[in-house]
Structure 1
């Protein structure tokens, strides 16, 4: 009997990070497991053989997908050939529905079991896709408690494994230490993990930073540069502002920005939940093409876009979406927060409470157990 062969597809930076943790957990349980798939640096470092570089695939918004179709087509060709030639014992799909739904259709046809980890946000929009998942997927492993209820309601096999961020982000020992008000305010700018996202959001964030600094000249700004984003792009956008804003580019893990920041401006996504688990008050910024936004607005079924806000059922992190995400509105929102230390502390306390609703650490280990049970 051959060693288990598992193919993993993670199309974005957060999925690659979670896939790397899964790879570690699988190897702890089965040292000779063979892992390969669509991934980026984090999974490669854990010994996952890369078939397609995930950084070439990620997009933001509905219409932006069309520009990536030739790249997605080439990736699908590689994936299909690998599924046929390698015949993996299990296919694990991590979020990224634009590609993963197509892959699931093909894998189902040739009889490969499918475990879907980190649900697409079908509970938020285009809920009819749950019927597709029910038809294609052998098991869903979800990371948010309300997702499990959604899938059970639709009779899809599901396990709530807890959120993988809990394994990486320790419990804050002293909540009062979060948001230290001593010294000049430091604001972290987190423009996203995709090239298009950074090109769209970072200029807006920097213009807002310039307005904030006019009123609070002592303020410092840090720009996070994700490993999945070209450093030259971040530098080209930031360079005109470097001296005027006392700006520092911080490459690599976003934790380096969290450690220094009193407040964050962040692109919508997983990073906003990371910020919540660190107890850092955050303003969420979301902008896509006008057509993407018009389509999405008609389809979205939830009140908030921030994950922490969805979990809490109220707005803990202010959300500035599309036209509301102007430099002036961003600056006004941020100034109202940094001018009120008591408000910042209350926001921090509320964000830290979100952790209690995310289950217990060990999501990757629980997922690995499910995966090996399906092999």
Structure 2
């Protein structure tokens, strides 16, 4: 029987999924000890967080380089902690660059490793699939198109459906009517993301107000980011309200459209049924390096799942105030009298059935616990 498990999430989206997994593990087996690295969601679910996900909040190649001493120090301390505690299993959630060394350490100690929220090796650096095949006991996937990818490498993957389906209250969201003129902004959970994206969001908002003075802008504050920090990157002459992260599903549904940082939030906004501009901006060098490895036509999950560009992807030069405002205006004030926002909402309604039934965290927990059943 599995009595002690190590669970590690390297970023905010992984912490959300990790929290649901911890809840499912503790519900299925009361008394199980869950330790490791997590954020607010995992701690609230009952994880004994010996390390905090908030300590690992970087983005991009050059940005990571500046934090390498701290990251290596954290990894060494984790390895020592694993050797001392000797958990029966290790679960890592996404974040492959950080977790691959941890996987190696666990394997040297003879501890089986489970990869929950399998890393996006299908997008870039596909050679990493071989490492996963050799070092991970089971890969647990939440995206339907990952199964045939891993099968190409001779791997069996457990597809459990998407945990976000459990989070979304479809009936409650269906009762919410989008508010005309309300534009939601989600600039990310990392300080580097916010500092890169939010000034451009603010510049776009200024341009939009010149054309459509009735617009209102609201920013969802990610956990760990203060109001003072967020407002320091927003133009003082543009009105803006700040939303707490607790009820962001309802907030996303209320918005006529969203502008967000690329990541799990794009799938959240799609499930909320809200048209979204997807943005991202890295240093020039980081972006150049990334382009050499990317092997997929889109970066946002809704586009990949639907296999078409439903959400415009505004990257690098396109992720500036002018292009963002132009893209938003094509939705908010179409010259041909069409209703592109409603067309997108209808397309998004086809996405939900593609993500499986509710109960993904429970199915993932049962797969892990099943390996240790007496």
| Deviation for aligned residue 1:165 | 0.1
Partner of 2:363: 366
How do 1:324-363 residues align onto structure 2 when only pairs under 5 Å count?
Answer: 324-340=318-334, 342-363=339-360
Let me know the Cα RMSD of the aligned residues: 1.7
1:12 alignment counterpart:
11
TM-superposed deviation, 1:157: 3.0
| Cross-structure match for 2:243 | 250
Q: Does 1:292 align with 2:286?
A: yes
Secondary structure of 2:351 counterpart: helix
Cα distance change on mapping 1:374 and 1:64 into 2, 3 Å: farther
Task: Give, in angstroms, the shift of residue 246 of structure 1.
Answer: 2.5
Please name the residue that 1:48 is paired with: 47
Residue-by-residue CA offset, 1:50-99 (whole Å, 9 max, x unaligned): 11111111221122111121221121122111210111111000001121
> Which string of whole-angstrom CA distances, capped at 9 and with x for unpartnered residues, describes residues 319-366 of structure 1?
111111111110001011012472101101111211111111111000
Note closer, same or farther for the CA distance 1:63–1:374 as it changes in structure 2 (3 Å cut): farther
Residue in structure 2 matching 1:195, options 191, 194, 205: 191
Higher mean alpha-carbon deviation, 355-364 vs 56-65, is at: 56-65
SS, match of residue 232 in structure 2? helix
Determine whether 1:304 maps to 2:298: yes
SS of residue matched to 1:63: helix
Contact 1:287 1:325 in 2 (8 A): yes
Distance 1:229 1:98, change over 3 A: farther
**Counterpart residue number, 2:96:** 97
Equivalence for 1:109: 108
TM-score normalised by the chain length of structure 2: 0.95
Any idea what SS the aligned residue of 1:302 has? coil
Supply the distance in 1 between the matched residues of 2:227 and 2:135 (Cα, whole angstroms). Answer: 39
**2:229 aligns to what?**
233
- Report Cα offsets for 1:143-168 as digits up to 9, x if no partner: 10110111122122310010000001
Q: What stretches of structure 1 of length at least 5 have no aligned partner?
A: none
Shift of 1:260: 2.8
Check conservation: 2:253, 2:273, Cα contact below 8 A: no
Structure 2 CA distance for aligned equivalents of residues 299 and 329 of structure 1 = 26
Work out whether residues 179 and 344 of structure 1, in 8 Å CA contact, stay in contact via their aligned partners in 2: no
- The TM-score normalised by the length of structure 1 is 0.94
The separation in 2 between residues aligned to 1:335 and 1:28, in whole angstroms, is 48
Q: Do the aligned residues in 1 keep the contact of 2:93 with 2:117 (CA within 8 Å)?
A: yes
Q: Tell me, what secondary structure is at the counterpart of 1:162?
A: coil
Q: Secondary structure at the match of 1:27?
A: helix
SS in 2 for 1:330: helix
| Structure 1 position 269, deviation (Å) | 0.3
CA shift, 1:228, in A, is 3.3
1:223 matched to 2:229? The reply is: no
- Report the alpha carbon displacement of residue 179 of structure 1 after superposing the two structures with TM: 6.3
CA contact 2:173–2:250 (8 Å) conserved in 1: no
Q: What is the CA deviation profile of residues 196-228 of structure 1, one whole-angstrom value per residue up to 9, with x for unaligned ones?
A: 101110111110111011100110000111013
Distance 2:173 2:67 in 1: 45
Show CA shifts across 1:230-277 (max 9, x none): 333112223x43xx3321011223325314311000000000100000
Whole-angstrom distance in 2 between the partners of 1:228 and 1:174: 26
Identify the range of structure 1 (286-295 vs 54-63) with the bigger mean alpha-carbon deviation.
54-63
Contact 1:286/1:325, CA 8 A, preserved across alignment: yes
Unaligned runs of 5+ in 2: none
The residue matched to 2:242 in structure 1 has which SS? strand
Alpha-carbon distance change, 325 to 179 in structure 1, aligned in 2, over 3 angstroms: farther
Please give the secondary structure, in 2, of the residue aligned with 1:18.
helix
Equivalenced residue count is 368
Distance (Å, rounded) in 2 between the aligned partners of 1:152 and 1:315: 26
Change (3 A) 1:172 1:350: farther
- State the alpha-carbon separation in 1 of the partners of residues 187 and 365 from structure 2: 32
